[in-house]
């Protein structure tokens, strides 16, 4: 059994620690489609389809654009994560800070989003100080989840073994990698099914208690 002191809670950010789907993703998706239209000279429908295709294949639109079109990942991420109205877009959840504080062990964020955006969201949620590390897509050297290379770099950075980690995610491909590496997996989802590589499914991060893992 993992000793509590060695346990590391590895949190995804968007749609895990907060609801990004309602206000943030629609704006982000439009910004990404617009970027693809501008830089690859595509019409809106084709740009939209390409964005979704790369997101499905690579887990991140950025990776497909970098690999197949020579797009600079940093330039793409900077241009698609501006959000001047972010304070009105982040959905606050009462008790989130309290719930996180009660979890024994270290907590880190592991996100496919850029660092500056992640820090802004965490700041608005009032939980920045809870985390020992905010491991962003730049930290992964642009090997976003579900890439095992990104996971390996994250584990090295936080100086933890996979057996010490509990990965909390809304994305199943990322959880599949986590499980394959030897982590425990918590799927944050309201779906009723539970794949066999998921140890626990919870409808919201607020439902998390360490007693159940």
Q: Which residues of the chain form contacts with Mg ion (CB under 5 A)?
A: 12, 14-15, 170
Residue with Cβ nearer Mg ion (91 or 163)? 91
Q: Least Å distance between CB 174 and Mg ion? A: 8
Residue with Cβ nearer Mg ion (145 or 184)? 145
Query: In Å, how far from its chain's centre is CA 10?
Result: 10
Decide: helix, strand or coil at residue 161. Answer: coil
Q: CA 40, CA 29: separation in Å to the nearest integer?
A: 16
Burial 13-23 (b: 16+ CB within 10 A, else e): bbbbbbbbeeb
Q: Least Å distance between CB 171 and Mg ion? A: 5
Residue with Cβ nearer Mg ion (14 or 133)? 14
Residue with Cβ nearer Mg ion (37 or 118)? 118
Residue with Cβ nearer Mg ion (164 or 170)? 170
Q: Least Å distance between CB 15 and Mg ion? A: 4
Q: Least Å distance between CB 166 and Mg ion? A: 16
Q: CA 193, CA 53: separation in Å to the nearest integer?
A: 25
Q: Least Å distance between CB 209 and Mg ion? A: 21
Tokens of residue 101, six digits:
């504080």
């Amino acid at each position: 059994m993992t000793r509590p002191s060695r346990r590391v809670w590895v949190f995804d950010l968007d749609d895990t620690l907060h609801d990004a789907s309602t206000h943030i993703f629609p704006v982000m998706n439009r910004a990404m489609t617009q970027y693809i239209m501008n830089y690859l000279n595509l019409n809106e429908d084709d740009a939209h389809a390409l964005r979704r295709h790369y997101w499905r294949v690579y887990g991140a639109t950025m990776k497909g654009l970098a690999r197949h079109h020579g797009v600079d990942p940093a330039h793409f991420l900077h241009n698609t994560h501006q959000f001047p109205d972010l304070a009105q877009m982040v959905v606050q959840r009462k008790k989130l800070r309290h719930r996180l504080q009660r979890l024994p062990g270290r907590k880190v964020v592991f996100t496919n989003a850029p660092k500056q955006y992640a820090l802004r969201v965490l700041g608005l949620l009032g939980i920045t100080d809870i985390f020992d590390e905010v491991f962003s897509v730049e930290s992964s050297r642009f090997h976003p989840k579900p890439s095992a290379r990104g996971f390996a770099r994250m584990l090295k950075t936080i100086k933890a073994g996979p057996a010490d980690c509990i990965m909390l995610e809304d994305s199943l491909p990322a959880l599949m990698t986590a499980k394959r590496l030897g982590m425990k997996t918590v799927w944050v989802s309201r779906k009723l099914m539970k794949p066999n590589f998921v140890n626990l499914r919870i409808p919201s991060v607020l439902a998390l208690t360490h007693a159940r893992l």
